[in-house]
Each structure stands twice: as structure tokens, then as C-alpha cells.
Structure 1
Amino acid sequence: MKKFLFLLTIVGLTACQVKPTKVIVEEPLMGENVTAERLMTQNPVILDARSAFEFNLAHVPGSVNVRWEDFSQQNPRARGLLQPDLFALARRLSLVGVDPETPIVVLGKGAQGTGEEGRIAWTLKVLGVKNVYTLLHTSYREMNTNPNREVPAVKNKPYWKPEVAEGLTVDLKTFKFDISQDLKPVVVLDVRSSQEFALRNLSMEKSVKAPVINIEWREFFGAKGLPEKKIERLLYEKNIAKDSRILVLSNHGVRSGAVVYALNYLGYKKATNYAGGYEQWK
């Protein structure tokens, strides 16, 4: 199965809507000692976050093409918000072999893209999927030194209940309250480009009392597309500690989602994505 089956009509289960379990992330999402090469030996499900055009030109055998928009609302004023029915998202994932225990590699374009694979990884973590890695599409192909390696067919998984990692996302009301308070250590991390930041940022708002810092999202990922540990020094220089409450935003929650994924990977336990972004703010 090479196509993501989001368009299938899912019958049943819709009548029994129980609130998803909510959990708080208290540990780094992944151990830094686990490499992508090691993960490949675990027969992960491979999700490719590139465009359908690029995927159809060339892709890893057995991978499934996904888009971050497939998980998000259609509201043009807040495209970054996840669809409210998280059970529906979990059911869709089960159709391509994903459950909370499934090892996942999300492939993308790294610095040449706009954080799509990181946004998909963040979404999976919000839904409670435990082992998720981002990686460059080209890096994964280079790592596969065995061209005859068999790729297992994607098999459906039973429907599962998402255990929502609530700490990974923040709504507009809470975001507005937090940035209007003189609370420490709370910081707004704007991960757009320096040009975007110079044109408009929250430090220009009179109601915002929290410090606003600009570090472009690309700085958080290394050459292979994995979170970059070297960013810890820059964060330290900006007075951002691992126990700081870090409110991350971009235009519509894609680049900020990628950064929250990377920060949690590196052990910043209170990093959260304002997924509505400037698109919802304005």
C-alpha cells in the first residue's frame, strides 16, 4: 500500500465519542543514543511528508505519502490547528499500520522544505505515538546499504485510543494569558525567518510582557534531518533553560510544530506549539 487512505469512509466508532486520555510529556520524546540506522532494523512505518508530486517521482519502497494538512482543520484563519476529532486521526493512522507502539520514520526535505516532516512528527507525538524520528528523504536512502532489504507490507492496526500529550500544544486563550504575564521562566520563541520577524513580531505588541526571541527553525535540525544537539548552546545563551516554558510560534504552526518536536527530543519538557500561529493571532 503506497497511498495514504485518508479518503476512505470510516464507518462505526463515531457514535462512541469518549474524551481522549490526556497526558503530560515529562521525558524527552526519544533517547539521543538511538540512531536512525538502528531504527531501520526495527522495520518502522515510513511516512513521507513531501508533496505528492515529489513522492511519485521517487520514494522509499513501502513508504506512505502524508501531508500535514491531512491532520489539520480547513479553517483558512487557523490552518495549523489539529482537527478536533483526534479519534478520527488515530483511526486513519491505524489504516497505514500506525499505533502508539509503532516505530515511525518521517521523511522530508529538511532545510529545503518548510518543516513538514517535523510537523507530522509533532502531530504523532500529540496523539501519543512514542517512537518517532524525522529524517531527510535522501539520508534514509543513503543509510539503506542493503538494496535487497525486504520492506514489510503495511498492515492495518486495530483502532486505538489516543493518549493526548497535552503539553505539546497550547490554545489561543492560554497563549494570550501566558505572554501577557510577567512570569519567569516563560519565553516566546518565534521560529520564522529573520526577515519575517523584522516585519512583525509579538514584541511589538504592548500587551506582550514575555521576552520574544527569534531563532529560525532550520537551526534546530542537523544535516540528516534529526534534531540538532548543538542548538542547546544557543538556547543557553538566550537564557532558555530545559525547564523554561517555551511558547513556540510560526505563521500557521508548521515550523513551530517541527521545533517543538525537536525541543522535546532534546529534553526541553515544557516546549509547546501555538499551532494557530500568526494566522490565528491576527
Structure 2
Amino acid sequence: MGFNRVFLFILVAVAIAGLLRFGGRPYPVRVPIESSSVFAVDSPDLSDRWVVSADRAKRLIEDGATLLDARPSKLSMPDRLGGAIAVRWQDFSQPNNPNRGKLIEDDRVLTEKLQAIGIFNDRPVVAIGDPVRGWGEEGRIVWMLRSLGHRQAVFVDGGGLALAQVDLSPIESPTPLGDFTIEHRGMWSIDRDALHQGLERDNWVVIDTREPREYAGETPYGETRGGHIPGAVHLYYKTLLTDEGKLLDRPSVRSLLLEKGITREDRAIAYCTGGVRSAWLTAVLADLGFEVKNYPGSMWEWSADRKLPIQL
């Protein structure tokens, strides 16, 4: 038997074995392909993915991921997805002004809270929010988990409504006690003093993610002083969403960022009122590969310190 026949025989044998192994169906190998029509990239590796499509979220959940519903209860009823664990970003944050945007400082308390909602070290976490009516709470939960060391926390593009449209099977089992342990990762956060010291750096771009009226000086959410951090560019975070609450396609998002002078060569610093809307933008920019940090104290903290400058 010549070499070519031997080689052909081996190829046929391997093909038959593969068909037998996978029930006659070709094995679905997924590779990260960037689509021009959607934001979320379907990738088998979640370490660099912060945003997933509803279809991808469904597969993760059916494979055992923890599903967190970060929508405020007044918004999510009556369509709370069966089996989703209700969470509030406030439950993991300090209770009093001006520190309401900052995470609880006691790691023991945070660990107990996160384990109680079924967070595991090696199990993906999928968060949903209400991107149209909410404040980006799902992004806050994902930013928090990533900052505390979880490497597979993502939120669903389009929120709870998008996930409800993919026929997700109800999760019947009770919430198990997780085993998550905190390992602080500071690359996605910045504190007040570090931000103040870095305002004059050429490669920093500070992004105000609040509503236009807030940037202009109104204080509808209880800031001590009105205005914005000096030099901050204004990018209301919902500018990146469609009317249905889904992210614009990636080229459109990049174009809007570029219009504001925000590029991947810069270090982006996002803030809002209490580090919620800015956490959402942090997640989106991180998914795009930006070097980005969230300022969790945001204007609640900044405006309360009268030694710090504010621009109108």
C-alpha cells in the first residue's frame, strides 16, 4: 500500500472515530469572532469577556453558572427569571454618605455575603439588569466580582428581557453556599487621592458617565456640590445603548469613544454618582480591551471633600 493510501486510510479512520464519539455530529468548535452587528463576542474564555450575548448566557447557565438578577425589585417584577438570585449592589457597599459608592471594607463580611448568594471560585457568574430603566447595576456587580478576584463574571447584553427571550429553562435547585474567597485585584479601581494626583497626566482621560444635567451642575442624586471633576469628558453611558437596551455594535461604540477622545492608548477613569453607572462603563471598556478603572466613591465622595476641585 503506497504512502498516499495509508495516509487516506488514517484520515478516514479518524473521521469515523470522531463521528462515533460525537453521535454523528461535527464537534462545535467555537472561536472568538468579532461581529460587526453585535457587541458581545462569543469566546470560550471568559477571562477577557465582561459582556455576553443572551444565547451565550443561556449556555453558561445551563452548564451551571450562577445567575444573579441585579435589577431593582420595583423594576424586575413580575418577570423575575425563575431561579435567578436577586441581588442589590447596595448590599455590598458602605451604607452611609459620602461612602455609599465604596465597597464594604471588611473582607470577612463581603465573603459571607458573596458565598450566601452562591458565588464559587471556579463557577461563572452571569448578571442581568434593566439597561433601559436601570442604572447599570449589572455592570456594578460584575465590576465588584472582578475586583475581588472572580475571573468569570459577566453581564448579559440586553439584560433580563434579552435573556427571557432565549427560552432559558427554570433553575429549580436552591441556592447552594458558595466557596468564593476574596483576592483583591486593583487594576479596575482607583481611589479619590490617586485620581486627584493624576488629573494632570497626559495619558489619563477621565469620563463622567452621568446624565447631561448632572455634568452641568444639577444634583438630583444627593451630591454635596454640583459640577464635574475638572477636565472630565462627558459620555452618558446610555449613549452606547439602543432603544431596546442592547449595546451598539463594537465599531459604533469605538467610534463614539473616539469622538470623545477616548482611545486604547489612554488610561480611562470612569465615575458617576456612586460608582454604579461608571462600573457598567468600566465593564464595557474592559471587554473592548481598554485599560480602565472605576472610581467607586465618585461624586458622592468627591463633592463632599471641599478641598477637591469641581468644574461647572
TM range (shorter): 0.7 to 0.9
Task: Name the amino acid aligned to 1:215.
Answer: L
Name the structure 1 match of 2:120: 99
Number of residue pairs the alignment of both structures matches: 243
Report what 1:240 is aligned to: 262
Q: Which has the larger radius of gyration?
A: 2
> What is the one-letter code of the residue matched to 1:140?
L
Q: Give the equivalent residue in structure 2 for 1:191.
A: 209
- Aligned partners of 1:202, 1:72: CA distance in 2, in Å? 23
Structure 2 residue 229 is the aligned partner of structure 1 residue 202:
yes
Check 1:43–1:224 CA distance in 2 against 1; reply closer, same or farther (3 A cut). farther
**Aligned to 2:274, what secondary structure does the other structure show?**
coil
In the alignment, what sits opposite 2:98? 77
Determine the structure 1 residue equivalent to 2:133.
Answer: 112
**CA apart distance, 1:131:** 1.9
Tell me which residue corresponds to 2:20: none
- The CA distance in 1 between the partners of 2:58 and 2:266, in whole Å, is 33
Gap regions ≥5 residues in structure 1: 1-26, 204-210
Q: Could you say what the CA RMSD is over the residues aligned between the two structures, in angstroms? A: 2.5
Extract unaligned runs of 5+ from structure 2.
1-44, 218-226, 304-312
Q: Is the 8 A contact 2:207 2:232 kept in 1?
A: yes
- Counterpart of 1:48? 69
Residue in 2 that maps onto 1:154: 175
Match of 1:57, SS state, is: coil
Alignment-derived partner of residue 35 in structure 2: none
Equivalent residue number for residue 233 of structure 2: 213
Q: CA deviation at 1:151?
A: 4.5
Which deviations, in whole Å up to 9, do the C-alpha atoms of 1:7-28 show, x marking residues without a partner?
A: xxxxxxxxxxxxxxxxxxxx99
Percent identity, aligned pairs only, is 26
Counterpart Cα distance in 1 of 2:116 and 2:68: 13
Q: Distance in 1 between matches of 2:298 and 2:51?
A: 33
Tell me the distance in 2 between the aligned counterparts of 1:155 and 1:166.
28
CA separation of 1:212/1:87 partners in 2, compared to 1, >3 Å: closer, same or farther?
same
CA deviation digits over 1:92-134, x for unaligned, max 9?
A: 2122221232212211110211111111111111112222222
What are the residue-to-residue correspondences of 1:1-282 with 2, within 5 Å? 29-31=47-49, 35-41=53-59, 42-55=63-76, 57-135=78-156, 136-144=159-167, 151-158=172-179, 160-179=180-199, 181=200, 183-199=201-217, 200-203=227-230, 211-221=231-241, 223=244, 225=246, 229=250, 230-268=252-290, 270-282=291-303
Contact 2:51–2:155 (Cα < 8 Å) also in 1: no
